[in-house]
Amino acid sequence: MNDKTKKGDMGSMPPTLNEQQEQAARFREGTALVIAVPGSGKTLTMTQRIVYLVQQQGVAPERILGLTFTRGAARAMRERLAPRLQAQAERVWLSTIHSFCHSLLRQEGELYAILQGREQIQLLRDILQAHRYSGLSLGMVMQEISLAKNHLLSVEEYQVLHAGDPVMRQVAEVFAAYERQKQQKLYLDFDDLLLSVHTLLAENPDIRQRYRERYPHLLVDEFQDTNPAQMEVLKLLCSSSPESSLWVCGDDWQSIYAFNGASLGNLLHFEEIFPGARKFILHQNYRSTPQILAVCQNLIRHNRKKIEKILTTDNPEGEGVIVLECLSEEDEALQIGREIQDLVDRQGYDHQDIAVLYRAHFQSRTLEEHFSQAKIPYHIENGQNFYQRREIQGLLDYLRVIHNPDSPAGQESLPRILNVPNRYVGRKFVRELEAHAQEQSLPLYAALKSIPISIPYLRKSLQQFVLLIESLRDDADDLTPVELIRALRECLDYDRWVSEDEIPRPDDGRIANLNQLELAAARFDDLGEFLKHTETFQDESLGHDEKGVQLMTIHKSKGLEFPVVFVVGLVEGILPTKRGDLEEERRIGFVGISRAMRLLYLSYSHTYLGQKAAKSVFLEEMLPSPSSSQPSSKAKEATHHAV
């Protein structure tokens, strides 16, 4: 069924604009807020607006600035402009707001290097170590600094705000040291790009006016994902000229990035921030069946903080939404696999027409295992398969060494775990160890036990390492694989190491992955058999079949569409999560189910993560009338409802 469009909003769009789209695209001067429900053609409408400005209003393409949420979205919009504007399409400035700010600073002669990735992490890690703040996790500190900047808080303001909290005072000290070191090295991080442009435009009226005149027509996509700093930059760029316009497009129902600093209030209060703004609502959905839209509407109506709108469609009636009631995660994966095989074998769908969406990465483990065993091709969007994730590989390497350090797998794994957790073992020592093993004709582990080590701290840490391995090897015959994993997690303080938290949170994604590894190991009594099982997933091509079933988190699925969608793990504590804001969690659920074009499956199980689980409240909200559920005999292990 290759003719079915899986990605983007344009697959089922009509060649001409509907009345609401036309009005939004042809808006002239002033400020416009366009609310676009899922599948309503917002990208088409934004593209047509640019075409209208150039071809009907005579606006020079280079005087239009279009800001998108991702580089991919900017690329896609330019591709859609090209057939209409030809060479003029290249003259329209389309980019992310960070990319635009980066370019603006360069044009204004600002000299700096971008601090990102490993360099940024290492700088913060060095500061934490220098301050001896072992109770602060690197991830939490990075998030706090980013959120502060996204809310335009200076170091001094942050210090005052958190003066009464001892932990946050420590974060403030790290924040201050981080800013000092960046300034000394002429670094800016990504959040600084926004702050620097905001300061430049706010404090220099001439520069501000120059950019207002250069880009009198400003368009912003995915406006619900903007943060306060971005909003302030946009306000500074807005021209008061009668021949200028600010045109923003978004959907409050799809605001799911609060953890990154996005402010839903930017959209909800837009008409207060910009008095006189015109509002257009694109409520016509071209993607989904009426049955799917009814479930979407049922769910989102329970949110209080929202703009009211009604999802409508002219699409033909479709099949009822299907609910899979499962005994466990394994049963859930089994039932989903059966449904997929039926969809492909009997109903004419291709594997790539199907997406399985989940709230968190750890949920992919049971799906991957079953799909691999059932020979169902799959692709993990921008991710690694479960057994290749860093925290999983570390424990598996330990288990291979414990099982047989002299085997090829043990020999390969040993160098990787010498510094897991950190024992300050460098590459130089590993090379010396390999040379010693070769000279003495010894296996690597035996060479480790005999190599002379002159550095006291290194000798002590590696002696402790060998004692741990020997102890667990002695007990290996009496311990099950899951007991060995638990022993390693405890002896190594492994959870704290992978999470970088003094007290690891149970809902940390990496901790959840370790718990999933234990659940997988619990099915085996013999370590060798368990390792043999995990080896079937070591092939790096697994999870990378572009024509396979698409596995991804709901956040990754935003902006995409698929003929068939499974939203899995609808249990309390997963969706919604325990720590999440309920309305944000509901919007996440809404984004997941609104990806479906023709068929929507919802699944839950009575146990999750080895514990009893309660069905998500969202299922009750989506399907409020029990009498509308018709049980089917399609699945013997559990109830299978068509709604």
* Whether the predicted pLDDT of 636 surpasses 70: no
Matching fold, domains 322-385+542-642 and 388-535: no
pLDDT of residue 2: 47
Report the pLDDT averaged over residues 609-636. Answer: 70
Least confident of 137-141, 214-218, 278-282, 327-331: 137-141
Cα separation, 162 vs 169, in Å, equals 6
pLDDT beyond 50 at 639? no
Given a contact cutoff of 8 angstroms between Cβ atoms, the answer to whether 67 and 100 are in contact is: yes
- pLDDT, residue 225, reads 93
% of the chain with per-residue pLDDT over 70: 92
What is the rounded average pLDDT of the residues 502-514? 69
Rounded mean pLDDT of 346-354? 96
Domain 388-535 has CATH 1.10.486.10: yes
CA distance 512 to 491: 19
pTM attached to this predicted model: 0.84
Question: What is the chain's alpha carbon radius of gyration, rounded to the nearest angstrom?
Answer: 28
Q: How high does pLDDT run on average in the chain?
A: 89
Q: Name the nearest CA neighbour of 67 among 192, 256, 194.
A: 194
Q: Residue 132's pLDDT band (boundaries 50, 70, 90)?
A: confident
Per-residue pLDDT tens digits for 148-205 = 999 999 999 999 999 989 989 999 999 999 999 999 999 999 999 999 999 999 999 9
- State residue 226's pLDDT score: 95
**Are 6 and 561 a contacting pair, CB within 8 Å?**
yes
Residue in the structure block whose two tokens are 């998500």: 616
pLDDT classification of 539: cutoffs 50, 70, 90: low
CA distances to 286, 413, 545, 562, 571 from 13, in Å: 6, 52, 28, 14, 35
Unique residue bearing structure tokens 């510094």: 419
Give the type of residue at 629: S
* Torsion (CA) 444, 449, 453, 458 in degrees, nearest 10: 90
Say what the pLDDT of residue 632 is: 33
- Predicted confidence band at 627 (pLDDT cuts at 50, 70, 90)? very low
pLDDT of residue 503 exceeding 80, the answer is no
Bigger pLDDT: 134 or 598?
598
Sheet holding 596-605, edge to edge: 378-380, 549-553, 354-358, 562-567, 596-605, 322-326, 640-642, 630-632
CA distance 349 to 290: 20
* Residue in 387, 300, 363 with CA at minimum distance from that of residue 605: 363
Return the pLDDT at 1. 54
Burial degree of 74 (CB within 10 A; 0-12, 13-18, 19+): buried
- What is residue 542's predicted lDDT score, i.e. its pLDDT? 60
By residue count, the chain amounts to 643
pLDDT tens-place string over residues 366-394: 999 999 889 999 998 766 778 888 899 99
Residue 236's CB: how many other CB atoms inside 10 A? 16
What was the pLDDT predicted at 642? 52
In angstroms, the CA 233 to CA 223 distance is 13
- The strand pairing partners of 224, in sequence order, are none
Pairing of strands 630-632, 640-642: antiparallel
Is 399 a residue whose pLDDT tops 50? yes
The secondary structure of the chain in percent helix, strand, coil, rounded to multiples of 5, reads 50, 15, 35
Ranges of beta strands (E only) in 228-365 are: 245-250, 278-282, 322-326, 354-358
The stretch 100-112 carries a mean pLDDT of 92
Nearest to 336 by CA among 585, 618, 1, 634: 634
pLDDT higher than threshold 70 for residue 531: yes
What pLDDT sits at residue 7?
Answer: 42
Mean pLDDT of 601-625: 92
Residue with the larger pLDDT of the pair 641 and 73: 73
CATH fold for the domain made of 19-107+195-283: Rossmann fold (3.40.50)
pLDDT digits (tens, 9 = 90+) for 294-308: 999 999 999 999 999
What average pLDDT does range 248-271 have in this prediction? 93
Angle, to 10 degrees, between the axis of helix 408-417 and the axis of helix 390-403? 130
Assign 339 a pLDDT band (cuts: 50, 70, 90): very high
pLDDT of residue 640: 57
The predicted-structure confidence for 400-438, as pLDDT tens digits, reads as follows: 999 999 999 999 999 999 989 888 888 889 999 999 999
Could you tell me the fold of the domain covering 322-385+542-642?
Answer: Rossmann fold (3.40.50)
Query: Does residue 541 have a pLDDT over 70?
Result: no
What whole-number distance in Å separates Cα of residue 619 and Cα of residue 221? Answer: 31
pLDDT band at 641 (very low <50, low <70, confident <90, very high): low
DSSP 342-374: HHHHTS---GGGEEEEESSGGGHHHHHHHHHHT
pLDDT (0 to 100) of residue 425? 86
Q: How confident is the model at residue 546 (pLDDT cuts 50, 70, 90)?
A: confident
Range scoring the smallest mean pLDDT among 168-172, 257-261, 272-276, 580-584: 257-261
- Res 508 pLDDT > 80: no
Burial string for 11-40 (b: 16+ CB within 10 Å, else e) reads: bbbeeebbebbebbbebeeebbbbbbbbbb
Q: Where are the domains of the chain?
A: 19-107+195-283, 113-185, 322-385+542-642, 388-535
639 vs 603: CA distance, rounded Å: 10
Write down the pLDDT at residue 580: 80
Encode pLDDT of 448-486 as tens digits.
999 998 888 888 989 999 999 999 999 888 899 999 999
Percent of the chain with pLDDT over 90: 72
Cβ atoms of 201 and 236 within 8 Å: the answer is yes
Q: Which residue has the higher pLDDT, 110 or 214?
A: 214
* pLDDT for 500: 62
| pLDDT value at residue 643 | 55
Q: What is the pLDDT of residue 418?
A: 92
